Amino acid sequence: MDPITLSMIDKFYESHDIDSRNYHEFKALIAQVSGLTSEDVAKLETLYYQYYYDLFDALHAYFNNKNFVQFEERIRNIVNIDLDELSSGPASPGEKRRMVIYHSFHALLNNLKKQRRITEKQNKLYMYLYTEEDVSLLAAYEVYQFTKDENEFIDTLLLIEQFQYFENDTKFLNDISEFTETVQEQFKIIYAHKRYLDLATRTTLEKIIRAGDKTVLSLYK
């Protein structure tokens, strides 16, 4: 990827702050978890602003499945972590920020899918393009962050999709629509560590993941 494109992608991540609406939803959910002390709530807020992955993953899962019992259990596990140990972990604030934005984008697509404004096939394609850091897709999402215009956002996604079918092999794109949750989860892991992998390594990993290999997922867990 050329330096100009990399610079554009970096600016995309740097320009995103935590959405205040998401923060209010987070606060409202935490208030419903029984038995939390004021210290627990303060710890969770600290983790929220540190882009703690497990917390945002729990929120993302809840917004998708509305399983509050599962969410509550995960929150209770999270409040037991040691913040001092966490601060010495390998993930940088930049990496955590990338995953927060990733989850926000994924949640938006899932919401559009629930409204039947995009299909499951389109959802998988757009998520794949996001993990590939397609500049057109990132730009469309950045514009949406300012305008909150879903109609314009969907129109742009459709144009991007049409361009992909024009530029790429149809079978390649159709294969994306058949991705299982395991495949998608492994692509997410590759995306999270993308800056540490050269192109040849990422390409090889993508090929074995597409072929059904689950090594990446097993190593990550």
Model pLDDT for residues 68-78, shown as the tens digit of each residue: 999 999 999 98
Q: What is the pLDDT of residue 90?
A: 45
C-alpha to C-alpha distance for 51 and 37, rounded to whole angstroms: 21
Q: Which of 13, 64, 23, 65 is nearest to 44 (CA)?
A: 23
User: Quick count: other Cβ atoms within 10 Å of Cβ 146?
Assistant: 8
Q: Give the predicted TM-score (pTM) of the model.
A: 0.64
Percent helix, percent strand, percent coil in the chain, to nearest 5: 75, 0, 25
Q: What is the pLDDT of residue 11?
A: 59
Phi, psi of 197 (to 5 degrees): -115, 135
**How would residue 10 be classed by pLDDT, with cut points 50, 70 and 90?**
low
Model pLDDT for residues 125-135, shown as the tens digit of each residue: 999 999 888 98
Q: Which amino acid is at 17?
A: D
C-alpha to C-alpha distance for 182 and 217, rounded to whole angstroms: 8
Average pLDDT in the 186-202 region? 83
Helix (H, G, I), strand (E, B) or coil at 176: helix
Helix (H, G, I), strand (E, B) or coil at 16: coil
Share of the chain above pLDDT 70, in %: 81
